[in-house]
Amino acid sequence: MNEKKAPINIEISPEQSEGIYSNFVLIAHSPSEFILDFARMLPGLQKAKVFTRIIMTPQNAALLKNALDENLKKYEERFGKIKIFGKAEKEIGFK
């Protein structure tokens, strides 16, 4: 029951290692897949351009969510809370 997992070798080309900047994501889903379109919006334009589309199973989407949650927590522990501009935090209680 206590199986050791072999390490996964990851290969990435020099072009892919540069990455693509995205500041906008569109998400659609069906019973069998999630589709994530990573896009870029520029100030003053009413049009976003999709640069990458990722299609994954609902199970892999849930695993991605868990990995993001875990890594966001680690990030905030190291660098402080991430501020989302345009969303005011609601305070409960008296000042």
The pLDDT-based confidence of 88 (bands split at 50, 70, 90) is: low
Terminal C-alpha separation, the chain: 54
61 located within any domain: yes
Report the range of poorest mean pLDDT among 25-34, 59-68, 84-93.
Answer: 84-93
- Is 34 inside a domain boundary? yes
Which helix H or strand E contains 78, and what residues bound it? helix 58-79
Distance between CA atoms of residues 39 and 21, nearest Å: 8
pLDDT at 42: 92
Number of separate domains in the chain: 1
pTM: 0.77
Report the length, in residues, of the chain: 95
Sole residue written with tokens 């199970």: 59
Quick check: is 3 in a domain? Answer: no
